[in-house]
Amino acid sequence: MSTISIDVRSRTIPLSKSLKSQVLSPRSEMLERFKKDISLAYHPYSPHTIVDVDEVVIERMVAKFSERVIYRPLDDIRYWDWTRKGLNIEPGYPPFYYSSTKDGLPVNATAVGGLGEGVAGLLAQRIYKARKVTRPYLDYPDAVMECGGVIYLVEAKATTVENDTGIRATAQKELVEMARLMVSCEVLNHRRVRGLVVGTRIVDPSNYRSYITELVA
C-alpha cells in the first residue's frame, strides 16, 4: 500500500476563567466575546509536524474511531479524485450527473467523515500519546482519550473542499460546544481535561492537511 502524508498545523488556547464564564453565559454578547477572544486572529495555527503513514494505518484507525462501518474509504477518495481529473467511463453508463459539480462527482460523505475521525484518533495517539477510553455512540465528542491522567476530548471534522478556509471555519465553530463540555466535566471532577478539535482537509488521496486546536482547561 502507499503512504499518506498528513501536514499538521496546531494551536493551543488556554481556557481562562474569563473564557469559561463567557462560554457558559446565556447572554449573546458574552458568547460573541468568547468567539472573538478565541478567533484565528488572536490564536493563529502554526506548522506542527508532518505525519507519514501507510494507508493500512489510516484504514485501521477509521475502523477504530469511526461510528459507522465504512468499506474501503480510501478507494472512495481515490475514485472521487479520478473524477476530478477526467476519469473515462464506458459509453452508455448512466452517470448521476445531476449532483456532480465542476470538481467532479460528489464525494462519499460517509467516507470523508470516517477518515476525519480516523485521522483525529491517529493524531491524538501519535502526537499526544493518548489512548482511547471510549468512542461514544450517537453522542458528543467523537472520542474520549487519556494520557498521564489527563482526559482528552476529541472531535473530528473533515472535508474535500478546495481551500483550507472552510475546514478552519468549521473547526472554529466547534470550539463553543467543546469548551462547554470541558467546563461541564470540570464541575464534578478535578481531573485535568483538554479538548482537541481536529479539522482535516483531504487535499488528494495521498495528502491531507489537519488543523488541531487544543483547548486547555
Partner 1 sequence: MKYEMTRDDLYAINQIAESLNSRNASDDDSSDYYIYWPLLELVKTALTESARDKSQVVQSDPIRREVLHDEDELGEAIRIVADRVNQYLRDLDLKVDLELYFDWIKKKLEWPAKTITGKGDLLRIEKEQLSVATGLVINLSHGIQADLTKIGMADSVEGLYLKPKTLSDRLNLDALRSRGDCEVVGNWYPYDVQGPNGLAFVVDDDHSIFVSTRGMDEITQAECQTVLIEIANMLFAT
Give the binding range for partner 1 (CB under 8 A) out of 22-30, 107-115, 129-137, 207-215: 129-137
Residue type, 196: L
Residues 6, 13, 144, 175: which binds partner 1 (CB under 8 A)? 144
# residues contacting partner 1 (CB under 8 A): 35
Binders in 55-74 for partner 1, by CB under 8 A:
56-57, 59-61, 64, 69
Instruction: Determine how β-strand 150-159 pairs with β-strand 46-54.
Output: unpaired
Rounded distance, CA 60 to CA 20, Å? 36
Residue type, 162: E
CA angle 122, 203, 60 (to 5 degrees): 30
Write b or e for each residue in 61-87: b if 16 or more Cβ atoms lie within 10 A of its Cβ, otherwise e: bbeebbbeebeebbebbebbbebbeee
Work out how close the CB of 67 gets to partner 1 at its nearest, in angstroms, rounded to a whole number. 9
Q: What are phi and psi of 70, to 5 degrees?
A: -125, 120
Work out how close the CB of 196 gets to partner 1 at its nearest, in angstroms, rounded to a whole number. 15
What is the per-residue binding string for partner 1 in 174-213, x denoting contact by CB under 8 A?
A: -------x--xx--xxxx----------------------
Give the binding range for partner 1 (CB under 8 A) out of 5-13, 76-84, 105-113, 132-140: 132-140
Rounded distance, CA 88 to CA 5, Å? 27
Q: What residue ranges bind partner 1 (CB under 8 A)?
A: 1, 52-54, 56-57, 59-61, 64, 69, 122, 125-126, 129, 131-139, 144, 146, 149, 151, 181, 184-185, 188-191
